[in-house]
Amino acid sequence: MRVSASRFRSIFFAVISLTAMAAHADWYHREAAIMGTRIAVELWHEDASEAERAIEAVLGEMRRVDALMSHYKPESQLSQINARAALAPVAVDSELASLIERAGKLSALTGGAFDITYASVGYLYDYRAHQRPTDEQIEAGLGAVNWRHVVVDPKDSTVRFTRSGVRIDLGGIAKGYAVDRAIAILESHGVRHASVTAGGDSRIIGDRFGRPWIIGIRHPDDADQVIARIPMIDAAISTSGDYERYFDEDGERFHHIIDPHTGKSASKLRSVTIIGADATTTDGLSTSVFVMGPERGIELIERLGDVDAVVVKSNGKVLYSSGLAPP
């Protein structure tokens, strides 16, 4: 049989283009520093330039959420609330009003363990400079710490404070929210296998090489040691730990998760990991359970039913919610 030159050429081109496609269908990674933390995006895509476009869109969205919600940026809408909401209602994007409302619901659910007004005393800590407030300063600020001081009007999309001295900070939930936004963007780009991480908050789309993604939970005292590996497909995971931002003084650890009832660092646990469907939920709950402690915290997780928890106690003991416990 004789293969014509043109037929040969078309077979040749078919092979070439298949090879080219195979070379482009690949995992694409990117890391960036946004929201004061490490952002990592990893995704599978058939097309390199489409993959880059999707990653750029994710990073752009992270920067947008940061510009809206950062308490470091004086021009952010969140900073505008802190500057003026005790005087009159402050108009904000409905997106920000909704997240503040959602934070309030989480406060009610957790008996005030999660409370964005923690910042009314939280701002007195500077972990890098090893500075903390005196008991008198905490006492003076605690009156302003109460989530009921924050009133959201969803109709007008405004936020007001019922008294002076109140400050809010979304650090316990905004990274998870940004991860959820990123996942929505990747899905709209047709991505079917991906992982997005912002600090301690991650969410996964699909599987990896036909198997679950494996997310390691680190040892609180050793970043290289893994205490548990969690297999995940289409799920979110958040870890809150006392090793993220802290300083030690006289054998005591002063870290960034504040018990709103005392104005001091919550000390019942070393780390809390929550696994659930979306990262806004897991982020908010990991901070909440960290403050609530092992008994009340696990009880809440069991009651909610659609989330799981891995908790490291002060003595190093690891507790699992019933959905994760070995049979």
Residues that bind ligand AMP (CB under 6 A): 114-116, 118, 169, 171-172, 200, 240, 244, 256-258, 260, 283, 286-287, 291
Residue 42 in the binding site for Mg ion (CB under 5 A) = no
**Stretch of residues binding Mg ion (CB under 5 A), selected from 137-145, 166-174, 214-222, 224-232:** 166-174
Please count the residues of this chain forming the interface with Mg ion, following the rule CB under 5 A. 4
Residue 147 binding target from Mg ion, ligand AMP, none, CB below 5 to 8 Å by type? none
Of 229, 180, 223, give the one whose Cα is nearest residue 204: 180
We find the least distance from the C-beta atom of residue 238 to Mg ion, in angstroms, to be 6
Q: Site for Mg ion (CB under 5 A): which residue of 112, 141, 172, 220?
A: 172
Which candidate, 153, 72, 63, places its Cα nearest to that of 119? 72
Distance in Å, CB of 144 to ligand AMP, minimum: 14
CB closer to ligand AMP out of 220 and 260: 260
Min dist CB 214 to ligand AMP, Å, is 21
d(CA 193, CA 234): 9
Rounded-to-integer distance, Cα 321 and Cα 67, Å: 36
Of 263 and 284, which has the nearer Cβ to Mg ion? 284
Considering only residues 283, 293, 307, 312, which one is a binding residue for Mg ion as defined by CB under 5 A? 283
Q: What are phi and psi of 296, to 5 degrees?
A: -65, -35
Burial of 194 (0-12, 13-18, 19+ CB in 10 A): buried
Could you say whether residue 294 binds Mg ion (CB under 5 A)? Answer: no
Amino acid at 304: L
Taken in order 294, 221, 168, 57, the sign of the CA dihedral is: negative
**Identity of the residue, 156 or 252, whose beta carbon is nearer to ligand AMP in the bound complex:** 252
In single-letter form, the type of residue at position 144 comes to: A
List % helix, strand, coil for the chain (3-state, nearest 5).
Answer: 40, 30, 35
Residues of this chain that interact with Mg ion (CB under 5 A) are: 172, 283, 286-287
